[in-house]
């Protein structure tokens, strides 16, 4: 049985657990593309906070690209898996070559999603970092570590659904970890969504543009309840 109709429904549910951050000038909402963007869009609208993306790219071992030796994140920050590097005797030249290739792809995606606009300034901010769910939590973990280097005042990691053990583990990484649902058995993120189709670049760009154009605007429905655009 699914918990959410789709990612935007999940974002509306998740926002209820984040209302203490509503209408605060120090709050920034960051989405992990692509699936985290529709979720984060609804949260940002409800909290009346600016929305941006925070990209993470895996650094795959040469010849065994599915095995991660680290990850690269927005702002040029990267995290290395020292145990993998030692075990496979991977040198700095190989790391630099892979990082350069992934940095080009990350930069391409940044341009696609943000255009010529600069990333939001995170120094001293309360950052709410959002994805559509957590299975192993590896992407969220790298994102949190990379964000620390930009010196935000607080990192709040928030997801609509997560494996219980992953939510507990990441509670030690973030300043606050919010998992709206932690079903057991978990199996996979997509099982808890009625519609879990892949989020396209076009949808990401459309939502980011809408958020920038009217980041704090809501409208009233016919019954008077706020409806988030």
Q: What's the mean pLDDT in 184-189?
A: 94
Asked if pLDDT for residue 228 goes beyond 90, the answer is: no
Burial label for 213, CB within 10 Å (0-12, 13-18, 19+), is exposed
More confident residue, 127 or 72: 127
Q: What is the DSSP letter of 199?
A: P
* Token code pair at residue 148: 């620390």
**What's the whole-number mean pLDDT along residues 25-38?**
96
**Which pLDDT belongs to residue 215?**
47
Q: What is the pTM of this model?
A: 0.84
Q: Phi first, then psi: what are they for 119, rounded to 5°? A: -60, 155
What lies within 8 Å, CB to CB, of 88 at 6+ separation is 61, 69
Eight-class DSSP state of 192: G
Asked which of 14-23, 43-52, 105-114, 218-227 is least confident by mean pLDDT, the reply is: 218-227
Can 7-55+122-214 and 57-114 be said to share one CATH topology? no
CATH architecture of 57-114: 2-Layer Sandwich (3.30)
Into which CATH architecture does domain 7-55+122-214 fall? 3-Layer(aba) Sandwich (3.40)
Domain ranges of the chain: 7-55+122-214, 57-114
């Amino acid at each position: 049985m699914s918990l959410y109709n789709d990612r935007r429904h999940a974002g509306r549910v998740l926002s209820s657990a984040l209302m203490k951050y509503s209408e605060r000038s120090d709050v920034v909402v960051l989405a992990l593309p692509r699936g985290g963007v529709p979720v984060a869009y609804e949260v940002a609208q409800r909290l009346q906070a600016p929305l941006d993306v925070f990209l993470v790219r895996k650094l795959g071992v040469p010849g065994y690209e599915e095995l991660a030796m680290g990850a690269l994140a927005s702002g040029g920050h990267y995290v290395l898996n020292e145990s993998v590097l030692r075990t496979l005797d991977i040198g700095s030249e190989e790391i630099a070559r892979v990082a350069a290739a992934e940095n080009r792809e990350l930069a391409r995606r940044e341009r696609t999603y943000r255009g010529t606009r600069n990333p939001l300034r995170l120094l001293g901010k309360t950052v709410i970092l959002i994805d559509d769910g957590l299975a192993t939590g590896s992407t969220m973990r790298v994102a949190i570590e990379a964000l620390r280097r930009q010196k935000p005042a607080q990192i709040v990691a928030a997801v609509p659904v997560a494996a219980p053990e992953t939510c507990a583990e990441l509670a030690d990484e973030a300043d606050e970890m919010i998992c709206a649902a932690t079903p057991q058995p978990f199996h996979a993120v997509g099982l808890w969504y009625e519609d879990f189709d892949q989020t396209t670049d076009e949808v990401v760009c459309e939502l980011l543009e809408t958020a920038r154009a009217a980041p704090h605007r809501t409208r009233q429905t016919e019954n008077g309840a706020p409806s988030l655009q």
